[in-house]
Structure formats: structure tokens, C-alpha cells
Amino acid sequence: MALAPKKNKLSLWQRIRQNSLAYKFIAPTFVAMLVVHLIPIVQGLYLSLLDVRLTTLTLYLKAPFVGLKYYIEVFNAIFGIGEDGTSSRVTGLINAASNTLVYTIWTNIGTLGLGLILAMLLNRNFRWRGIARTLVLLPWVVPTFVTGTIFNFIWLEQGGLANRILLGLNIIDMPITWLIGPNSLYALVIATVWRGLPFTTIMFLAAIQVIPTDLYEAASLDGANGWQRFRHITLPLIKPIAGTQVLFGLINGFYGGYNIAVQMFGGGTGFAGEYADLLVPAITRQTWERHLYGFGSAASVILMGMLLIFVGIWYRAFRDSLRAE
Amino acid sequence: MGVSLSKKAESARSARATINYKAWLLDRGGDILLLVIIALMLLPIIFLIVGSFKSREEFAVGSNFFPSDWRFENYSEMWTRVKFGTYFSNSLIICGITTLVVTILASMSGYALARFRFPGAGGLSMAILGTQLVPGTLFLIPLYMTFLWMKNNLGIPLIGTNFGAIVLYVGFFLPISLWIQRSFFATIPIDLEEQAMVDGATRFQAFVYIVMPLAGPGVISTAIFVFLTAWDELLFAWVLNVQTIPVGIRQFTGVAGSQNRYELLSAASVVIILPVAAMFFLLQKRFIAGLTAGAVK
């Protein structure tokens, strides 16, 4: 674009011809996106209005039209209207939605908080800095389904690593049940934070490293203490990176967790139980094991709506740092 | 002005002596905290590795951290017990080809988005980012139906084949990859291309011979990112019935009806981590440089 002579009065056709190479470069990508993303997304939205189940699957887009039936079912259940008609698939979904919210909030707090602390610690001068920076990357190379496997073993009630360490240090005197019941969601959160920590740490470290050191020196001369320097120099300057990390965290929180959960719970059957069932595993079960394809689509749209609400809040919070870029 | 500055420096200097030991203490506290966090991050991986050498009984009891008898034969048993070789080569083929195709296409389209302000660029950017906000469960059903239809009506074997997985993953990982590439191209100065074009190169030649060599770290970041993510993909592979590692590894646990063989599952997990770890640490410096360049600038 910098090469093009700056004439403002070009017709659309001229501008298209001028950028013909760009279109050639984009064309294969556009076709791939159209086939794998855009067309299926539109079809998926439409599917959520159809009664597609095992018996009507072959009809596909010609399956009986039920309109907003599934959405109304879910909203009725949320607001307690028509309780008799509430089916297990809807209560399961609402339960999974609330778990997903808690999971997303805690994984974000854990990854961002620990990631920032770790980045600050790694940014100091010390002898083994190079090795330390490499070691913290290790969880990143562990695929998430393997992460689920590892933590399945770690959380085992009898003989699991976590209980043995906690018993050995006399922190607890009875083994904790990690994989069933109320603890299971936090067992999932910890596994997710462990896997996500390296990426966030590296991003924060990169952001902290480019902050000019004279800013800190000047602040010290003016008598600012460590906390004040952190609060008024470090935090504002890493806000753009933090913004991207929060967005990734929201997407991963709402849409992720499937691989870890599937491998961690139920000895491979993958059902986490009511305390730790997230939306994506729940929707997957409804869709592919109970063959409720239309309902699964509607549930996916509701999941997307949940994410978009949070992305909206995110956008308001980080709008300024986005504009600065 | 100058007086007040030197006064401030003076008071800071005298304060420094008292602060010094406090800072030293804080620093040592930081060391200990760092040590604890790193230990906690490494422990699960070490646990997995030592567990893969235990006998089945020892793993189940879990009384020792280290195996009393290191059973290297777990690895050969794991390999023969399920079709691990098939899963492994399927995953390598699918992830390798996907990475290659995605990296080439993402370089081209990322370059186009970074350098040209063409009609439709804004809409395309929105569409690219938008795809990241849609849950996979929403477009998985239509994709499955489309692939099924293509198989039945056009005879294209897209279900249960490596080819189908590659088609799927290329489309799946392209948007995010091209976004990483785009932000990397944006950091490369445009002067070099302009110079090359003044010297008579076409824009395409400038891209291939001038820009791409400079984009090394960005290309490597994208490639590793795609490979890592594809290596890790379970849901779509499972639905499309592709025999990749994440799908196949579940045979070691209750799913396939066999008894749980956790020590074999551990051995398989170690083997699964190896190629990714090797690639990652060989290219670590450039990978991180590429990932952070676009984000920090």
C-alpha cells in the first residue's frame, strides 16, 4: 500500500485491480475458511432451530422446524418457569454453564496472577536465570489430553501424588477425594492453570523486559517504593498484553477444558460428574452420544452468547489499551 | 531545580542503606518462591516419567515415588498392546502436512493483510477474529454432515481418513495462524521490499526473496503453534473417527473395555511428549521471539 501512488479518487474497481496480488494471496485461505468455518457456522445457527436427532439426521437441514423451542426450554428452566417440563438435558446444561463460569473465573485468576508473579521473579538478575526460564516452559509441551492423564494420577484418592504430599507434610490427616464431588472443579482448575502458566508467563516477561529501566530509576529517586513502582509503572505498561491474555483466557475458559476433563475424570469415560461438568463436554455428550444434534447446536449458540457477554465486558475494560496499539 | 534534585538524590542514598537489607531479604524470599513454583511445575512431568517405569501393581498402590524395579519393557508392551505405531504415524502425517500447508497459506494471506489495504480487508479481519469466538461444537455437526455428504455423493473419503483430518485442520488453524503471521509481518520494515522493487523485482519476488527470509521467527512460531495445537486435537478427530494419538490413547483406559493400564498409558504419554518437546526446545529462542514480537510491539 505504501508503494501505491497516493491518489484518493480511485474507483473501487481500480483499487481491486491495484491489489490483485493481495486477493491471490488471500484466495486459498478464504476458500478454506468458507468451507470449514463460515458455511458450517451459518448451517449450525440454522440447525439450532431444527429438530435434528438420530431419526431425522438424514433429513439434515430439511428436519422439522421447531423454531426457538430449545432456547425457550433453557430460559424457562433458568428463570424457573414451567418446572414440570424441565428435562434432565436442560438441568444438566444449566449446571454445566454455572460450572463453566466458575472454571473460567478461577483459571483466569490463577493463570494471570501466577503468570505475572512468575514473570516478575524471572525478570530479576540471578545466576540460574536462563535455566529457570527454560524450566517454566516445560508444561507447555505437554499436550492437554496428556495433562488430563497426569492429573488423573496425581488426584487419585489412594496413592495419588497430591494426597501423599499433603499427608506427608501433615497438612491433612485423611486423603482428600479430588475427582468426585465439590473438589473436582478445582482439581480441573489447577490442571488447567498448570498447563496455561508458561504461555502467560512468557508473554508477561516479554512485556516487562521492554519497559525502560530508567523509568524505575527515576521513580526510585522520587522515593517510590517497590509496590508503587509496580502499581504505577509495571501494571499500566503491561496492560495491553494483559488484555490479550484475558481474551485468550476467556476463550479457553469457555471453550476449552474438554481434553483435560475427558482424560482426567471417570477413568477414561470422561464424565466429570455434576460438580465439574463443563459446557463443551456436556454439549458434546448431548450431541454425539445422545444424538440431540439440534439441541446441541442451540446449546452451542447459548455458550457463544455467554462468551460474547464477557468479551463485551472485556472490550470495555481494555478498550483504551487496544486503541493505543 | 538542580538543588532540589541533588537533595532528593542525597536522601535516597541515605535511605538506601536501611532499605538494602530489606531488599536483600525480599530477593531471597523471591528465590525461594521461584524455586517452589518451578518444583511444582516440574513435579507432574517427573511423576509421569518415573510412573511409566513402574509395574502395574506398584503404580496402583503408589507407595513409592520411584519404581523399585525400572521396567523398560513397559515401552515395548505399550507399543504392541494397542496400535500405537499406527496412531503415532497418523498423527505425524496429519500434523506435519497440516503445519506445512497452514504455514505457507498463512504467510501469504498474513502478508497480504499486513501490507495491502485492499477493499474487503476490514471485513476479512473481522471474519478471522470472529471465527475464534465460535465454539467448535457449533460447526462440528454441519462439518460432519458436509463431510458425510461429500463421501456419499462425491466419493471423497473425508471421514475416518488422514486426508479428511488434514482438510479439517488446515481450515481450522488458518485464521489464528494468519493473525500471528500478520502481526509479525507488520514489524518488518517495508523499505527493503521497496528497494528490491526499485531494482526491478516484482512484488511476488520481493515477498519470496526479501520478506520471507526475514520472517523466519514468525514462520517458526506459527509452525510450532499449529503443530502443538494439531497434536493436541481430540474432539474433531474423535467425531470424524480419525485414528490419531489422542483418540487411540484412550484404549489404555476403561473405554475400550480393557482393564486400566496406567503404567502403559504413562509410557505412551512420555512418547507423545517427546517429538513436541524436541521441536520446541530446538527452536525455543526463535519461537518465543516470534510469538512475543507481534504482541509487544
Q: Which residue of B has its CA nearest to A57?
A: B145
- Judge if B185 and B238 occupy the same domain: yes
Is residue A300 a contact partner of residue B137, using CB atoms and an 8 Å limit? yes
- Judge if B124 and B195 occupy the same domain: yes
CA distance A226 to A291: 58
Taking the CB of residue A170, how many other CB atoms lie within 10 A of it?
Answer: 7
- Judge if B188 and B259 occupy the same domain: yes
Structural domain includes residue B15: yes
User: Of the candidates B87, B44, B97, which has an alpha carbon nearest to the alpha carbon of residue B272?
Assistant: B87
Provide, rounded to the nearest whole percent, the portion of chain A with pLDDT above 70: 92
The CATH number linked to A182 is: 1.10.3720.10
Q: State the average pLDDT over residues B160-170.
A: 92
Structural domain includes residue A41: no
Structural domain includes residue A143: yes
- Judge if B120 and B245 occupy the same domain: yes
Structural domain includes residue A93: yes
Q: State the average pLDDT over residues A57-66.
A: 81
Residue A261 has pLDDT above 80, yes or no: yes
DSSP reduced 3-state for B59 = helix
- Using CB atoms, which residue from A141, A280, A296 is nearest to B273? A141
CA distance A96 to A278: 5
CA distance B190 to B210: 10
The CA-based angle B294-B296-B297, given to 5 degrees, is 70
Residue A223 has pLDDT above 80, yes or no: yes
Interface mutation target, options B42, B98, B137, chain A, most CBs of A under 10 Å: B137
- Judge if B155 and B8 occupy the same domain: no
Residue A1 has pLDDT above 60, yes or no: no
Taking the CB of residue A102, how many other CB atoms lie within 10 A of it?
Answer: 16
CA distance B154 to A228: 67
Q: A10 vs A122, which has greater pLDDT?
A: A122
CA distance A192 to A169: 24
- Using CB atoms, which residue from B30, B113, B174 is nearest to A121? B30
Residue A89 has pLDDT above 60, yes or no: yes
User: Which value, to the nearest 10 degrees, does the dihedral of the CA atoms of residues B253, B93, B151, A287 take?
Assistant: 40
pLDDT category, B13, cuts 50, 70, 90?
low
Structural domain includes residue B100: yes
What's the burial of A122, exposed, middle or buried (CB within 10 Å: 0-12/13-18/19+)?
Answer: buried
Q: Which residues pair with A292 in a beta bridge?
A: A53
Structural domain includes residue B68: no
- Judge if B149 and B262 occupy the same domain: yes
CA distance A77 to A98: 13
pLDDT of B9 reads 62
Structural domain includes residue B73: no
User: Which value, to the nearest 10 degrees, does the dihedral of the CA atoms of residues B67, B69, B73, B78 take?
Assistant: -30
Q: Which of A42-46, A86-90, A230-234, B266-270 has the lowest mean pLDDT?
A: A86-90
Task: Give residue B21's domain range.
Answer: 2-44
- Judge if B37 and B93 occupy the same domain: no
Structural domain includes residue A219: yes
Structural domain includes residue A121: yes
Smallest CA–CA separation between B130 and chain A, in Å? 10
pLDDT of B257 reads 46
pLDDT category, B222, cuts 50, 70, 90?
confident
Residue B2 has pLDDT above 80, yes or no: no
Structural domain includes residue A82: no
Domain count of the fold of chain A: 1
Q: B217 vs B44, which has greater pLDDT?
A: B44
Domain count of the fold of chain B: 2
Taking the CB of residue A213, how many other CB atoms lie within 10 A of it?
Answer: 7
Structural domain includes residue A2: no
Is residue A93 a contact partner of residue A286, using CB atoms and an 8 Å limit? yes
Structural domain includes residue B215: yes
Is residue A42 a contact partner of residue B130, using CB atoms and an 8 Å limit? no
pLDDT category, A158, cuts 50, 70, 90?
confident
Contact B295 A23 (CB under 8 A): no
In tens, the pLDDT along A287-296 reads 888 888 888 8
> What integer best gives the mean pLDDT of chain B?
84
Q: B287 vs B128, which has greater pLDDT?
A: B128
Contact B138 A297 (CB under 8 A): yes
Set of chain B residues whose Cβ sits within 8 Å of the Cβ of A150: 44-45, 47-48, 269
- Strand segments (E) across chain A: none
Is residue A270 a contact partner of residue A261, using CB atoms and an 8 Å limit? yes
Smallest CA–CA separation between B151 and chain A, in Å? 14
Set of chain B residues whose Cβ sits within 8 Å of the Cβ of A308: 133
- Would you put residue A266 in left (φ > 0), alpha (ψ -120 to 50) or beta? left
In tens, the pLDDT along B100-133 reads 999 999 999 999 998 888 888 888 888 888 888 9
- Judge if B39 and B177 occupy the same domain: no
- Judge if B140 and B29 occupy the same domain: no
- Judge if B6 and B89 occupy the same domain: no
Contact B108 A28 (CB under 8 A): yes
The CATH number linked to B287 is: 1.10.3720.10
CA distance A70 to B263: 44
- Judge if B150 and B20 occupy the same domain: no
pLDDT of A288 reads 83
Residue A145 has pLDDT above 80, yes or no: yes
User: Of the candidates A41, A143, A230, A194, which has an alpha carbon nearest to the alpha carbon of residue B280?
Assistant: A143
Structural domain includes residue B77: no
Task: Give residue A195's domain range.
Answer: 69-77+87-324
Residue B256 has pLDDT above 60, yes or no: no
Please give the DSSP secondary-structure letter assigned to residue B256.
G
- Would you put residue A76 in left (φ > 0), alpha (ψ -120 to 50) or beta? alpha
Structural domain includes residue B72: no
Set of chain A residues whose Cβ sits within 8 Å of the Cβ of B62: 156, 158-161, 164
pLDDT category, B33, cuts 50, 70, 90?
very high
pLDDT of B220 reads 85
- Judge if B215 and B101 occupy the same domain: yes
Contact B62 A156 (CB under 8 A): yes
Is residue A148 a contact partner of residue A227, using CB atoms and an 8 Å limit? no
Contact A37 B254 (CB under 8 A): no
CA A225 vs CA A117, A235, B232, B293: distances in Å: 17, 14, 45, 31
pLDDT category, A325, cuts 50, 70, 90?
very low
Taking the CB of residue B5, how many other CB atoms lie within 10 A of it?
Answer: 10
Q: Which of A230-234, A238-242, B11-15 has the lowest mean pLDDT?
A: B11-15
